[in-house]
C-alpha cells in the first residue's frame, strides 16, 4: 500500500530465474497516476528481469510507485524462495 493506492507485482520464475515481472495492481484513478505509471511500470518490469532481484533503481518522478513496486516485488521473490 502506498499513499496513492495499492501496488501489486507478480513475477514468473523458470529455472530459478525471473523471466517476467508485471504489475497486477497500480493506482490508475486519475490522469496523473496514469501518466506516471504508464511511464514507470515498463521500466521497473524490465529492471527486475535484468537485476534478478529487488535491488533495482527507482524511476525518477515515480518515487511512490517505485517504492510500492519494490516492496511488492520483494514479497513475490520471498514467496518464490529466490532470495
Structural domains for the chain: 8-79 (3.90.1010.20)
CA gap 82, 80 in Å, rounded = 5
State yes or no: pLDDT of 83 exceeds 90. no
For residue 68, what are the CA distances in angstroms to 14, 16, 72, 79? 24, 24, 6, 17
DSSP string, 4-42: TB--EEEEEEETTEEEEEEEEE---SSHHHHHHHHHHHH
Q: Return the C-alpha cell found at 35.
A: 501518466
Is 0.85 surpassed by the pTM of this model? yes
CA gap 46, 56 in Å, rounded = 10
For residue range 3-35, list pLDDT tens digits in order: 989 999 999 999 999 999 999 999 999 999 999
Amino acid at each position: 500500500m502506498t499513499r496513492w493506492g495499492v501496488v501489486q507485482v507478480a513475477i514468473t520464475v523458470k529455472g530459478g530465474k525471473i523471466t517476467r515481472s508485471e504489475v497486477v495492481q497500480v493506482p490508475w484513478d486519475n490522469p496523473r497516476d496514469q501518466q506516471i505509471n504508464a511511464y514507470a511500470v515498463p521500466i521497473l518490469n524490465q529492471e527486475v528481469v535484468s537485476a534478478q532481484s529487488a535491488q533495482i533503481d527507482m524511476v525518477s518522478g515515480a518515487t511512490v510507485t517505485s517504492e510500492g513496486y519494490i516492496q511488492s516485488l520483494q514479497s513475490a521473490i520471498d514467496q518464490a524462495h529466490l532470495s
